[in-house]
Amino acid sequence: MTKCPVCGRPATISYQTGRLQCPTCGWGTGGPIRVPDRIAKRSGSRRGAFSKPNPVHVFLLWIPAGCVVGLAAWLVFGLAKAEATNTNILIFAAAMFGYGLLGHLVQPSVDTDNLGWAGGLMNNPFRFSDNIERGKLKLLIVLFPGRLIGAALFETFWLVRYPFRRKPRPASSPQERTRWHEG
């Protein structure tokens, strides 16, 4: 299988042009394809070449994530008076990891023009779709603290993983480089 020379992911042959192209970064298409930010940051594509995460940025991500985890721990072990045994702490840590993973992976897109009457304050009795949009908005609000935790976890993962990543192999000869760029 042929790999893309830009991002190193598998390249495909376009059924329209018959040329080799990369569906991830847009190489060989004549223009870049819109790549989601999470992929563009890490895949080495043209828009966001893979670079080492900034340790200061990762540290600053841990401040709100630590506040969320600390507040949750205070609610569970302080107000609810759960016993702080090793098992309970492990269950709490697994729950926070799962919440962070869920917040990172589930990102509902809300159509704010369809929230109901008066900007979502009143139900539109003639439509059902505004109920769904308000539900997605509530889900977005509930998952936002988990998104903070997930962002801190994933950025830390990339910071630790960066020194061990495999670098793409450069083309060995000028003929090979021109063959890739011709299509």
Please give the span between the terminal C-alpha atoms of the chain, in angstroms, as a whole number: 15
Between 71-75, 128-132, 163-167, the lowest mean confidence (pLDDT) is in: 163-167
> How would residue 133 be classed by pLDDT, with cut points 50, 70 and 90?
confident
Does the predicted model carry a pTM greater than 0.75?
no
Q: What is the pLDDT of residues 164-183, one digit of tens each?
A: 666 666 655 555 555 555 54
Q: Which residues contact 177 (CB under 8 A, 6 or more apart)?
A: 5, 171
Quick one: pLDDT at residue 48? 44
